[in-house]
């Protein structure tokens, strides 16, 4: 306090304004109070529980690492290589009893007669087919043992164990499912333990909170509107057929209001990512969530050899072939002979018909035009004449 009075007297002697004197005096008083205050106590020594919490936080931050991995261009094949980082995947071999070898002509895109039905298939690394349960018809809780990579599909699969029968099976893993989680199928109805929690009065909201969880399989009539689902079935007692690739899902948008007294005959409308609206049976199955491996479309193979490892053969352009191999083949230079884009079998591109482009089939189909309009028919074709 004495120092603040001395500072104010010196300012008055030097003829400073009263406002400046008061400001400096307040600052001096605050400085004295701060210097006379005791120092703050040291932080307490961290306990064992807080250290465990810090380790868990560090693990969470570590789990949020970038999902894409780029490489130094040490080789030409690594310059454009972008791979996915999935540290939660199982690093061992699959469950052997649920697999069988993929071999024979089916690996090369051929049917039972040996004819190629799917082009650009063949070769690749040896692989085993995982038998995935797309139907999910067995009731009861299942514990997730691990999340595995499946070379036969873009999405990941989960190895689950039934809690009562201890039977193991593979299911499509939704995004965010991890080892230790519990999933359940409600295709055969609500189990007794869920009914006991609901009480004598049926509550749709309580049913939703007890059944609609990530990875659970339900009939579509039990799923609330606006829910994202995948592995969607089309008929009752059938397996899921829609939205099974990586990162795909459908949205439940409406239900039929007719025949509400009986369950059979109702339909549910779902919207796919392409914008297509599908009307499927209300008894069909669907799994809650989004299909796993959502960043699959962001990867880059980096070189042609990696495609061959995956069993993908080269795709040759039609204009690079001979005339006997493709309608666009032959000729001098890069020319397809003034022909609309067609398949190797002469089928026009459906995208051109959708855009309204004239094709050979639409140009010469139904050409019965009256000659009074100044046109004449010649060998089945209509030509415009001069009048």
5-19, 132-146, 255-269: which is most confident: 132-146
Least confident range of 69-78, 204-213, 280-289: 204-213
Look at residue 378 and tell me whether its pLDDT is greater than 90: no
**∠ CA 271-276-277, rounded to 5°:** 55
- Alpha carbons within 13 angstroms on the beta-carbon side of residue 94 total 23
pLDDT confidence of residue 259? 47
pLDDT confidence of residue 188? 87
The answer to whether the CB of 239 falls within 8 A of the CB of 135 is yes
The answer to whether the CB of 7 falls within 8 A of the CB of 24 is yes
Q: And the tokens for 197?
A: 């929690």
The full DSSP string for 124-160 is ----EEE-B-SS----EEEEEEEEE--TTSSS-EEEE
Q: And the tokens for 75?
A: 């080789």
pLDDT confidence of residue 334? 83
Q: Against a cut of 0.85, is the pTM above it?
A: no
- Alpha carbons within 13 angstroms on the beta-carbon side of residue 287 total 29
Look at residue 331 and tell me whether its pLDDT is greater than 80: yes
Express each pLDDT in 209-250 by its tens digit.
889 999 999 999 989 999 999 999 999 989 999 999 999 999
Express each pLDDT in 270-320 by its tens digit.
999 999 999 999 999 999 999 999 999 999 999 999 999 999 999 999 999
What CA–CA distance (Å, rounded) separates 222 from 204?
9
Look at residue 387 and tell me whether its pLDDT is greater than 50: no
Please, what is the average pLDDT of the chain? 81
Express each pLDDT in 110-138 by its tens digit.
888 889 999 999 999 999 999 999 999 99
Between residues 193 and 158, the one the model is more confident about: 158
């Amino acid at each position: 306090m004495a120092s603040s009075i001395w500072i104010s007297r010196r300012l008055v002697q030097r003829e400073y304004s009263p406002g400046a004197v008061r400001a400096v005096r307040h600052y001096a008083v605050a400085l004295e109070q701060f210097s006379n205050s005791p120092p703050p106590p040291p932080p307490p020594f961290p306990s064992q529980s807080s250290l465990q919490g810090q380790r868990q936080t560090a693990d969470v931050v570590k789990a949020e690492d970038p999902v894409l991995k780029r490489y130094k261009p040490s080789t030409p094949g690594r310059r454009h290589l972008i791979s996915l980082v999935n540290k939660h995947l199982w690093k061992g071999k699959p469950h052997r009893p649920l697999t069988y070898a993929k071999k024979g002509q089916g690996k090369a895109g051929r049917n039972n007669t040996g004819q190629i039905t799917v082009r650009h298939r063949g070769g690749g690394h040896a692989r085993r087919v995982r038998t995935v349960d797309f139907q999910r018809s067995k009731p009861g809780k299942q514990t997730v043992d691990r999340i595995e990579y499946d070379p036969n599909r873009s999405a990941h699969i989960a190895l689950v164990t039934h809690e009562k029968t201890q039977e193991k099976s593979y299911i499509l893993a939704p995004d965010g499912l991890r080892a230790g989680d519990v999933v359940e199928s409600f295709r055969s109805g609500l189990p007794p333990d869920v009914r006991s929690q609901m009480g004598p009065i049926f509550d749709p909201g309580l049913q939703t909170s007890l059944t609609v969880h990530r990875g659970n399989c339900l009939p579509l009539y039990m799923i609330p509107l606006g829910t994202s689902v995948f592995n969607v079935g089309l008929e009752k007692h059938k397996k899921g057929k829609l939205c099974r690739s990586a990162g795909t899902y459908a949205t439940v948008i409406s239900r039929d209001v007719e025949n509400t007294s009986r369950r059979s005959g109702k339909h549910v409308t779902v919207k796919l990512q392409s914008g297509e609206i599908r009307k499927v049976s209300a008894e069909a199955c669907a799994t809650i969530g989004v299909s796993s491996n959502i960043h699959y479309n962001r990867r880059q193979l980096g070189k042609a050899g990696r495609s061959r490892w995956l069993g993908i053969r080269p795709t040759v352009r039609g204009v690079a072939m001979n005339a006997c191999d493709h309608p666009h083949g032959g000729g001098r230079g890069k020319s397809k002979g003034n022909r609309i884009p067609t398949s190797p079998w002469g089928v026009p591109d459906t995208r051109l018909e959708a855009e309204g482009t004239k094709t050979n089939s639409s140009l010469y189909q139904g050409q019965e035009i009256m000659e009074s309009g100044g046109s004449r028919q010649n060998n089945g074709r209509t030509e415009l004449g001069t009048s």
